Amino acid sequence: MNAALIECKDVTIELGGEVILKDVNLSIYQGETVVLIGTSGGGKSVLLKTLAGLINPVQGYVTCWGKKWTELSVIGKHDLYSHVGMQFQKSALFDELSVIENVAYPLREHTRMSEDEIQARALECLKQVSLEKARNMETYDLSGGMKIRLGVARSIALKPEILFLDDPTAGLDPVNSDEMAELLLNIKKNINSTMIIVTHDISRAYQLAGRIFLIGNRMVKETGSAQQTRDSKDPSVQQFIHGWLKGPLTDGNQN
Ligand SMILES: Nc1ncnc2c1ncn2[C@@H]1O[C@H](COP(=O)(O)OP(=O)(O)OP(=O)(O)O)[C@@H](O)[C@H]1O
Ligand SMILES: [Mg+2]
């Protein structure tokens, strides 16, 4: 098998004196779509940020293109981030910038495109999320759903090789949520980014994922493809699929 694009080795993450995730081992390969799913507060966002080099584990390490995030210089990290897109759960938009300038930001930061090229690419991204008419709006005038869509537009501006998305369909009405899922499948087709997508919605996970990872009780457990996850005999996986995980996520009995 090819070398992993992202590798998480014996990772333990502690925040605020609490162990959030323990002994996490996983590998993500070029071109695949991995979905992280699990209970609220289980550590999906924390894991996503750790994979993206934004949170440092207290034990173990994460590599991206074979390089440990913690050993990269500021310039090295900046270089890697020019190939990475990230949409944050709380949008993390630049409120002082207009809608289109939010999308232009990574292009200004990481490319030497001309002003015309930047404007054209930013508009193209806004069109993909149906926000072109809102391009001159202030971000604080956007609805919650528009903010999510803008976060996704910004994350794809650089046509990233790796795309981290934190619950991009959350809080959207069913029509918008379906459109967002379609958009993600189209992005996959057009840019062929390796995607790591957080969701709390099992049907979205089935629709989008190549492989699924279930997160809860400080553990990360790979449940395989959509079909393998559906067919899993693991009681904690079945519990999760058929309602929220009630008992602890266990280590054994996985088929
Ligand atoms: N900066 C932080 N400092 C301390 N604790 C944190 C911090 N960030 C997250 N946590 C804690 O880590 C745990 C996991 O949080 P996380 O945001 O990853 O959950 P989640 O699975 O993304 O939940 P949700 O589905 O609600 O978004 C929570 O108990 C949260 O309070
Ligand atoms: Mg979260």
Candidate from 20, 56, 89 with most ligand 1 atoms within 8 A of CB, to mutate: 20
* DSSP notation for 82-128: TTEEEE-TT----TTSBHHHHHHHHHHHH----HHHHHHHHHHHHHH
- Tens digit of each residue's pLDDT (9 = 90 or more) over 165-180: 999 998 788 888 898 8
Locate the domains of the chain by residue range: 1-83+161-255, 95-159
pLDDT confidence of residue 249: 58
| Domain boundaries 1-83+161-255, CATH class | alpha beta
Candidate from 11, 13, 46 with most ligand 1 atoms within 8 A of CB, to mutate: 46
| Amino acid identity for residue 39 in this structure | T
pTM equals 0.91
Give the closest residue (by CA) to ligand 1 atom 19: 41
Instruction: Calculate the alpha carbon distances from 38 to 47, 183, 186, 208 in Å.
Output: 11, 23, 25, 15
Cα 48 to middle of ligand 1, angstroms:
11
Residues with CB under 6 A from ligand 1: 15-16, 20, 38, 40-46, 89, 200
Q: What is the mean pLDDT of the chain?
A: 90
pLDDT confidence of residue 201: 87
- Tens digit of each residue's pLDDT (9 = 90 or more) over 205-227: 999 999 999 998 899 999 999 99
Give the closest residue (by CA) to ligand 1 atom 1: 15
Cα 46 to middle of ligand 2, angstroms:
7
Candidate from 12, 45, 55 with most ligand 1 atoms within 8 A of CB, to mutate: 45
* Closest ligand 1 atom to 198 CA: 22
pLDDT confidence of residue 255: 36
pLDDT confidence of residue 189: 87
CA–CA gap between residue 102 and residue 91 (Å, rounded): 11
Instruction: Calculate the alpha carbon distances from 193 to 86, 144, 166, 184 in Å.
Output: 12, 25, 15, 10
